[in-house]
Amino acid sequence: MVILTLNCGSSSVKYQVYDWAAQSILAAGIVERVTQSGSVISHKVPGREEFTQNHECPNHTVAIELILNTITGAETGVIKGMSDIKAVGHRMVHGGSKFARSCLIDDEFLATFKSLNDLAPLHNPANLLGVEAARSVLPKVPQCAIMDTAWHQTMPESSYLYAVPYEWYEKNMVRRYGFHGTSFLYNAKRAAVLLGKDPFKTNLIIAHIGNGASINAVKDGCSFDTSMGLTPLEGLVMGTRSGDIDPGIIFHMIRQTGMSAADIEKKLNKESGVLGVTGKWADRRDVEMGAEKGDPRALAALHLESYRIKKYIGAYYAALGRVDALVFTAGVGEMGPIIRALATEGLAEMGIKIDPEKNKLAKCRNAELEITGAGSKVRVFVIPTDEELVMTEDAYALISGKYDVHTKYTYSFQRKDYVNKARAEGLARDLEKKPYLKDLIAKVP
């Protein structure tokens, strides 16, 4: 059984092709610059050279057709034909309070999901375009919605309510929802395995640090609090998003400059964060290089982002009372030792210590690493996230009638002997170049 997963943004479509029977990734890739000139597909198949092709994609339907043609092509294909695809899993960003779990997509679902567009105007419409495009190209294949917000539906009122007029919550759905749910679910389950603990007796702080970034307090295996709120704008400093600010700044800038609400929204989502502080860089690698050369704004951005992460770690430690492990994940979390070091600096009194040397060396997308320092009460892991696997497993469970919420369902990656075959092959290559990684690999008890 082959399952295709799609993650549709406003100008991109990420995809993965998964062979359920073999429990292996057949291909993965991305179509970039959808709806823009210069569209290109990058297609990766284990054991082959990466394939890239320029192909204009004026809309998402053409992009998905390009993906399907690529995965079935004579030179690039990994399946015989589109009939091999038995389910499509879609990442859906904002399910509001309407969707507390993954579900099959039908006309009723689409009507309800469209009503939530105002909650995530930068994300939900793009997700819908992907669903509609996939349904038109693969009309007989079950389409499954995997909600980014579903993981956080276990938060208590004290975590999700805002101190605003209560009717805003009742009538306008104003509350904390949280995002990066598939990543947090995967990391929570994997961290429990590495700790050798029952996942529902495990307390964690998980920092998903990428271009978009959020942090999650996990209590007894369930989401208890998270930094993103009504939208993905709140919380940590991100690549182009501001994170937490004084709401009064918005009114101040409107009065001072005459900016419209749309202007402000664009500035806070696309021109703030690390990019806003540095004035030229959103990629943390560029920021780190700038900081090394003494660029004052790069240094400011680096320390601002790390300090915000540290503040949330401290707040969530207080909220949980006991923490079994701190987990870093996603692009920067997995590959950014400088930010990890700065974010944990001075936390020894709280029982969080990292090994400086291990942290410097811990840069790998193919293995779960441990960077816990001597005497640390809290374990510290670097875990490569796998949102696509969560999407794939949810899609399979939905079409086979086995699906349930994560508190009642066991994923394959919760097994002690679970192995990601593609990552295992990648790790073997990594170890040839970086043999020291072997000593950092977290051991399953």
Which residues are annotated as catalytic? 148
What is the Cα–Cα distance from 91 to 382, expressed in whole angstroms?
Answer: 24
Q: Residue 321: which region, alpha, beta or left (left: phi > 0; alpha: psi -120 to 50)? A: left
Q: How many CB atoms lie within 10 A of CB 258?
A: 8
Compute CA distances 127 → 10, 58, 68, 100, 116, whole Å: 8, 16, 18, 17, 12
Specify the pairing of strand 103-104 against strand 143-147: antiparallel
Specify the pairing of strand 103-104 against strand 51-54: unpaired
- Answer yes or no: are the C-beta atoms of 45 and 38 closer than 8 Å: no
Amino acid present at 134: A
Helix (H, G, I), strand (E, B) or coil at 386: coil
* Partners of residue 330 on adjacent β-strands: none
Amino acid present at 263: D
Q: Find, among 386, 365, 329, the residue nearest to 437 by Cα.
A: 365
